[in-house]
């Protein structure tokens, strides 16, 4: 199993509750792909016992980046780490976002809500390199919840933002922005990550318009590599559903295969 017990943080950026770490790790970076995630030990003490799953946000030759929001004790401890300190990391794990080559001439639209934008930067850069037309829709509660907007812009990516309170960009949910984008030009495919209600609404929009959509799901994770069954989700199969592991079979699934009811 890929494991680097002493990954050195070479760059840290913080915006309130949001943090970005870049670390040098040729071993883990080698096979890293968009949509995969790392299992990060958040402290040097036995507490908390479980590692936390964090998506790959960006990759350079020998380095990886993660972008995360403090959600509880584990991520708060992780946020205290400083440049020069080390992290114990397992991974990358999970199935990647498959770039749909049919999308090359028509836009692939990436929809990220809050911290869900994290895996979409890596994907956007890959799609861009493949020659796809990429449009990124980035939604947050307020303007301070869009900390990596400028990073997309600096990379030359087409990005449009929304805020729930109207303090920046489109006033309303990112799903509203998606609906106006679809009226303007129908995307070839959607790639989505964000809070469950936003992903569920996006899946409904995609189904109504028959637009293929790949969604990256979250769940609590015990191990991250298929051993504990702590992360299961019901995924549609034939007329029924079957339990699938988000860590191993996902986290990326086709939107029309996801059964959302259990979490509501």
Ligand X SMILES: Cc1cc2nc3c(=O)[nH]c(=O)nc-3n(C[C@H](O)[C@H](O)[C@H](O)COP(=O)(O)OP(=O)(O)OC[C@H]3O[C@@H](n4cnc5c(N)ncnc54)[C@H](O)[C@@H]3O)c2cc1C
- Interaction partner, residue 55 (ligand X, ligand FES, none; CB < 5-8 Å by kind): ligand X
Residue from 195, 197, 212, 222 touching ligand FES (CB under 6 A): that is 222
d(CA 231, CA 248): 9
Q: How far is residue 178's CA from residue 170's CA, in Å, rounded to a whole number? A: 11
Give the pair of three-digit tokens for residue 51.
Answer: 């590692």
Nearer to ligand X, 50 or 259 (CB): 50
Stretch that binds ligand FES, among 25-33, 43-51, 154-162, 225-233 (CB under 6 A): 225-233
The window from 100-108, 190-198, 210-218, 228-236 that contacts ligand FES (CB under 6 A) reads: 228-236
Cα separation of 49 and 106, whole Å?
Answer: 46
What minimum distance in Å lies between the beta carbon of 179 and ligand X? 25
Name which of ligand X, ligand FES, none residue 7 binds, using a CB cut-off of 5 to 8 Å depending on partner kind. none
Contacts 24+ apart (CB under 8 A), 196-200: 196/260, 196/263, 198/111, 198/113, 198/116, 198/139, 198/173, 198/174, 199/113, 199/116, 199/255, 200/260
Query: Is there a contact between 85 and 7 (Cβ–Cβ < 8 Å)?
Result: no
Residue with tokens 């584990």: 74
- From residue 35, how far is each of 8, 17, 110, 186, 209 by CA, in Å? 22, 22, 12, 23, 24
| Helix, strand, or coil (residue 85) | coil
Binding partner selected for residue 229 from ligand FES, ligand X, none, CB under the kind-specific 5 to 8 Å limit: ligand FES
Q: How far is the CB of 74 from ligand X (least distance, A)?
A: 2
CB of 75 to ligand X, least distance (A): 3
Least distance CB 119 / ligand X (angstroms) = 6
Q: Least distance (Å) from ligand FES to the CB of residue 90?
A: 11
Rounded Cα distance, 96 and 19, in Å: 23
CA distance 199 to 195: 6
Binding site residues, ligand X, CB under 6 A: 37, 52-55, 67-69, 71-75, 115, 118, 218-221, 251
Partner interacting with residue 245 (select from ligand X, ligand FES, none; CB below 5-8 Å by kind): ligand FES
Kindly state whether residue 228 participates in binding ligand FES, applying the rule CB under 6 A.
Answer: yes
Task: Determine the 3-state secondary structure of 57 from DSSP.
Answer: coil
Residue 231 engages ligand FES in binding (rule: CB under 6 A): yes
In the complex, the smallest distance separating the C-beta of residue 164 from ligand X, rounded to whole angstroms, is: 18
Q: Which residues bind ligand FES (CB under 6 A)?
A: 221-224, 226-231, 245, 247
């Amino acid at each position: 199993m890929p494991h680097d017990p002493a990954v050195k943080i070479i760059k840290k950026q913080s915006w309130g509750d949001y943090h970005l770490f870049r670390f040098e790790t040729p071993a883990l970076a080698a096979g890293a792909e968009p949509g995969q995630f790392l299992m990060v030990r958040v402290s040097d003490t036995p507490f908390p016992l479980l590692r936390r799953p964090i998506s790959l946000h960006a990759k350079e030759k020998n380095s990886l980046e993660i972008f995360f929001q403090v959600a509880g004790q584990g991520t708060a401890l992780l946020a205290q780490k400083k440049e020069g300190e080390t992290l114990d990391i397992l991974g990358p794990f999970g199935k990647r976002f498959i770039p749909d080559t049919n999308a090359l001439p028509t836009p692939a639209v990436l929809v990220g809500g809050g911290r869900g934008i994290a895996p979409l930067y890596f994907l956007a850069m890959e799609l861009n390199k493949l020659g796809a037309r990429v449009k990124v829709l980035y939604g947050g509660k307020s303007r301070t919840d869009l900390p990596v907007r400028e990073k997309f812009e600096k990379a030359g990516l087409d990005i449009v933002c929304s805020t729930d309170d109207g303090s920046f960009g489109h006033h309303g949910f990112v799903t509203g922005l998606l609906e106006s984008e679809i009226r303007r030009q129908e995307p070839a495919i959607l790639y989505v990550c964000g809070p469950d209600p936003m992903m569920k609404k996006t899946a409904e929009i995609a189904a109504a318009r028959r637009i293929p959509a790949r969604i990256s799901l979250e769940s609590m994770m015990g191990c991250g590599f298929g051993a504990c069954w702590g992360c299961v989700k019901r995924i549609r199969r034939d007329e029924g559903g079957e339990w699938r592991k988000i860590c191993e079979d996902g986290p990326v699934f086709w939107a029309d295969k996801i059964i959302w009811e259990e979490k509501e």
